[in-house]
Structure 1
Amino acid sequence: MPERTTCVVIGGGPAGMVVGLLLARAGVDVTVLEKHGDFLRDFRGDTVHPSTLQLLDELGLGERFAALPQSRLDEVAFPLPDGRQVVIADFRRLKVRHPYIAMVPQWDLLNLLAEAGADEPTFTLRMRAEVTELIRAEGRVRGVRYRTADGTTTELHADLTVACDGRWSLARAQAELPVREFPVPIDAWWFRLPRDPHDEPAGLTPRAAQGRFAVVIPREGYLQIAYIARKGVDARLRAEGVEQFRRNVAGMAPDFAGRVDAIASMDEVKHLDVRLNRLDRWHAAGLLCLGDAAHAMSPVGGVGINLAIQDAVAAATLLAEPLRRGAVTEADLAAVRSRRLLPTILVQRLQHFLHRNLVAPIVEGRRAGPPRPVLAVLRRIPAVSLGPAYLIGVGVRPEHAPPFARRPPIAVHGEDE
C-alpha cells in the first residue's frame, strides 16, 4: 500500500528543512526525504546571515544555534598594495539584532533543524530516501517514488510536493519546467588551509592576481578558501597538478606560501560548476520548487543559502492554511513565486553586474582587483559599505517567522528552560 502525507519535501537542505519545520508547526503532516544518511558534506553554503539569525530567534532556536561552534564575519575587506585594506561591506553598521554573518558547518544547522522538527508530531524526516520519480495522475503531481537504503521502492502520495533538491533538481526536470540560464564567466574550487594566529579573525578577505582570485573565509580552526578562475579550466588545473596549484595560491596570497603544502592532492580541491539561472514558473499542479531548484545563484556574495531559507519561510507562510484545508491551488503556488521573485531578480542582476565588472576583468587578466574609482569611494566614504552589507546580510524583502511557527527560546542541553 502506498504511504500518505499532506506535503512531501524532496531534499533535506536548508530550504527543505525550514519549510518542513514551519509547516509542521502549523499542524500540517510533512515528510522530508533526504537521500544521504547524514548531513555531512564539505563546502556547502555555511553562511548564516543576519536575517536568518533573526529567524532562528523567532523560531525559539537562537540560543541553541549560538551554542554551536562558529566563527563570525564582521566585514568584507579588500587588501591594498600598501598593506592597508578597504572595507567593502561592514556588517557592524547594520541596525539588526545580529550584525554579523555566522560561519557554521551546514550539517550543524541542519541537525539543529532536524532536532526541532522531531519535537513536532506532524514532522517526519527520512534519511537514505532517494526520490527517483514524481507520481502523476490526472495532470497533477500526486507525490513521489523513493528508494531506501535496501533498494526498496516506495510510493508516497501527497497533496503537495516541494522540490528543494538543488540546482540539478530531478523534480524540476521531470516536471519539464524550463530553466532560463544566464552567462557565468567563472567556476569555483574549494579547499582548506590551516589558520595562523595572525590571520584576520572576523573578516572575509578577497585576494587577487591576474587571471584568478580567492576569497578567504575564517573558520573554527582553519581557513576555507574559494579559488575563482575562468569557467571550463577544471581539467587543465587538475592536469597541471597540485604543485602548480599551490604556486597559484601562493602567488595570490604570499602569506599562505608556508601553508600550501597542506593541500596534499587535487582530490582535496572541490570543483563547483557555477550556475546562474531561474525558472520562469516555479510550480506545476501539485509541485513547487524552492531555493536552488527554482534559482541557482553564484557564490559571489554568498547569498544562496539565505535566499533559499527566505523562499522556505514565504512558502510555509502562504501555504499552511491551504494545506490544512486540503485545497492547494495553482494560484496559491504562484503566490510564492510572486512574493520571492523581486529579491531573486535583484540579487541575480547584482551578481551578473559583479561578474561583468569585477570578476571577469580579474579572471581574464585585465585587472588585479576592484576598479580604482570604487576603491577610492569606499576609502573616502566608509559609510558606503553599509549598502553592500545590507544586500548581503539582510537582503530585499526579508521574511519573518509566521505566528504559528514562533516559539519561546529553547535552552541548550544542560540549561534550565
Structure 2
Amino acid sequence: MNQTTVTCCIAGGGPAGMMAGFLLARAGIDVLVIEKHADFLRDFRGDTIHPSTLELMFELGLLSEFLKLPHQEVREIGAVVGGVDLHMADFTRVPTHCKFLAFMPQWDFLDFLARQGRRYPTFRLLMQAEVEGLTIEGGRVVGVTAVTPEGPLDVRASLVIGADGRRSDVRRLAGLAVEDVGAPMDVLWFKLTRRAADPAEMMGYVDVGRMLVMLNRGDHWQCAFIIPKGGFEQTRAAGLPAFRQNVAALAPFTADRLDEIDTWDNVKLLTVAIDRMPTWHKPGLLCIGDAAHAMSPVGGVGINLAIQDAVAAANLLAEPLRLETLTEADLARVQGRRAWPARTTQKMQQVVQNQVISRVLAGGGPLKPPFVMTLFNRFAVLRHLAARLIGVGVRPEHVRTPDAFPLPPLDAGI
C-alpha cells in the first residue's frame, strides 16, 4: 500500500472541499484533496455563484480573473405566478462589490479553485481516488484509506475533512448521525435552446399543479421542473408528450423547441433532501457543506453555504493545524459558527416549500399569487431584503487566513 502524510486530508473536490483546500494551502497547511471522479465535468450541478462568494474572490485578489470565465449575470429575479408577473429579488443594492448572481458551470469554478491551489507548494489534488475507510487510533481519526488507479493509498493526517456531499461516505464511515428534515418535491433537470427574444428577467413559472424554473446559461436554458416527492415514475408513465405539454403550458415561448426533449435520457432526476447532522465532528474529523447539512434547491443557496463553511473552517483551524495543537474543541467551534446559519436557512426553505411549493403541487382551483408575494411588486425594500438573504445569506464569512506564500496577485479586484 502506498503511504503519504499530510496535515489535512479533504475527502471531496466539490465547492466546500476545493475552497477549504485552497485556503488552508494558502495559509501554509499541507493539504491533500481527494476527489473520486476523473474530472469535474458533470451536468446539472449547482451553478449559482452568489455575491458573497464573489466577495471572497475580491478579498483574495482574484475577482477580475474569475470573472473572465464564462458566466451570466442576473441582477433581478422574477416569477410568473398564475399569469401575474412578480418581481421578487433585486441584487443591485447588496452590500458587496458584485451586485448580481453569476451563473457559471461548476466545473469551471472548481477548475479555477484547483488552479489557484496549485500555485502553492502545500496543495495537492488527487483525482480518481475514493475514500473507502477511516484510520482510527486511540479513538481518534488519524487518516483515511483510499482506492486510486495506482493502487490502495494510506493517508495519515492530523485532520480529515468530509466534504463529500449529501451522501457522504466519510460521515457514514464515522458513524455520525444525520436528521432528515424532509422535502415535498423532487426536481427534473433538462436543457432547452435559448433565443435572443426569450424573456430575460423571469426565472420562475408557476401555475396550478406545476412549477418550472429556468436559468439563463447563455446559449441554453437550464430548466428545473418541480414534481411531487417520489413522482418521477408517474411522470414517466404519462409519457414525454404530456411532459412537454406541461412545460409549454407554463412557458409558452418554449413550445417551438420542446422536441429537443426526445428521450427521457435528456431528463435527469434530482432527489431533493434537507437534512443536517446534530454533531459535525469527532476527534480528528470534521464534516462541512452538504455532508453536514444538505440544502433544498430553493434559492440555489447550497453552494453558498458550503463555501461559507469552508472559509470558516480555514479561518478557525489554520492556526491550530500549523501549531499542531488541534483539538475537538477547535472542530466544535466551526460547527458553532456555521450550524446556526445552516439551520436558519433550512427553516426559510421549509417555509417556501410548505407554504408555496406544496400548495401549488397539490393542485386545486385557479392559482392566484399569495398576497405577501404581491407586496414585492409594491415595495422595493422587500426585493432588496430578499436579494440580501439569497445573495449574502445569514452570517457571511470573510477570509481571515494569512497568505503564507505571497505570490504576484492575478489582479487587484475591481
Same fold (TM over 0.5): yes
Partners of 1:27 and 1:369 in 2: CA distance? 56
Partner of 1:27: 28
Partners of 1:314 and 1:149 in 2: CA distance? 33
Letter in 2 for 1:157: R
* Maintained 8 Å contact 1:73/1:204: no
Please give the per-residue CA displacement for 1:357-388, whole angstroms capped at 9, x wherever unaligned. Answer: 01100111147767431233122213211111
Structure 1 residues 295 and 223: CA distance shift in structure 2, 3 A: same
Partner of 1:123: 123
**Runs (5+) with no aligned partner, structure 1:** 413-417
Structure 1 residues 315 and 367: CA distance shift in structure 2, 3 A: farther
Letter in 2 for 1:88: M
Deviation for aligned residue 1:15: 0.5
Partners of 2:261 and 2:409 in 1: CA distance? 42
Deviation for aligned residue 1:61: 1.6
Partners of 2:141 and 2:6 in 1: CA distance? 13
Residue correspondences, number:
409
Deviation for aligned residue 1:200: 3.0
Partner of 2:107: 107
Question: What secondary structure, in the 3-state scheme, does the structure 2 residue paired with 1:355 have?
Answer: helix
Partner of 2:187: 188
Partners of 1:309 and 1:240 in 2: CA distance? 39
Letter in 2 for 1:376: T
1:384 to 376, 382, 385: 382
Letter in 1 for 2:253: D
Partner of 1:138: 138
Question: What secondary structure, in the 3-state scheme, does the structure 2 residue paired with 1:4 have?
Answer: strand
1:213-362 aligned at under 5 Å gives the runs: 213-362=211-360
* Maintained 8 Å contact 1:62/1:409: no
Deviates more, 1:256-265 or 1:288-297: 256-265
Structure 1 residues 95 and 28: CA distance shift in structure 2, 3 A: closer
Partners of 1:403 and 1:130 in 2: CA distance? 29
Deviation for aligned residue 1:18: 0.4
Deviation for aligned residue 1:274: 0.4
1:18-167 aligned at under 5 Å gives the runs: 18-79=19-80, 85-150=85-150, 152-167=151-166
The TM-score with structure 2 as length reference comes to 0.95
Partner of 1:179: 178
* Maintained 8 Å contact 1:241/1:266: no
Partners of 2:82 and 2:322 in 1: CA distance? 60
Please give the per-residue CA displacement for 1:223-243, whole angstroms capped at 9, x wherever unaligned. Answer: 011111100011222233322
* Maintained 8 Å contact 2:11/2:163: yes
Partners of 1:133 and 1:239 in 2: CA distance? 40
* Maintained 8 Å contact 1:94/1:389: yes
**Runs (5+) with no aligned partner, structure 2:** none
Question: What secondary structure, in the 3-state scheme, does the structure 2 residue paired with 1:227 have?
Answer: strand
Deviation for aligned residue 1:408: 6.7
* Maintained 8 Å contact 2:80/2:202: no
Structure 1 residues 369 and 5: CA distance shift in structure 2, 3 A: farther
Deviation for aligned residue 1:349: 0.4
Please give the per-residue CA displacement for 1:236-267, whole angstroms capped at 9, x wherever unaligned. Answer: 22233322211121122111111111112111
Partners of 2:312 and 2:266 in 1: CA distance? 37
Deviation for aligned residue 1:269: 0.7
Partners of 2:337 and 2:92 in 1: CA distance? 28
Letter in 1 for 2:175: E
Identity percentage of aligned residues:
46
* Maintained 8 Å contact 2:82/2:207: no
* Maintained 8 Å contact 1:207/1:213: yes
Partners of 1:307 and 1:400 in 2: CA distance? 13
Deviation for aligned residue 1:328: 1.2
Partner of 1:415: none
Deviation for aligned residue 1:109: 0.6
Please give the per-residue CA displacement for 1:318-373, whole angstroms capped at 9, x wherever unaligned. Answer: 00011011121010000000001121111000001111101100111147767431
Partners of 1:316 and 1:204 in 2: CA distance? 37
Question: What secondary structure, in the 3-state scheme, does the structure 1 residue paired with 2:18 have?
Answer: helix
* Maintained 8 Å contact 1:19/1:315: yes
The TM-score with structure 1 as length reference comes to 0.94
Structure 1 residues 370 and 357: CA distance shift in structure 2, 3 A: farther
Structure 1 residues 376 and 240: CA distance shift in structure 2, 3 A: closer
RMSD of the TM alignment (CA)?
1.7
Partner of 1:10: 11
* Maintained 8 Å contact 2:40/2:111: yes
Deviation for aligned residue 1:407: 7.1
* Maintained 8 Å contact 1:50/1:96: yes
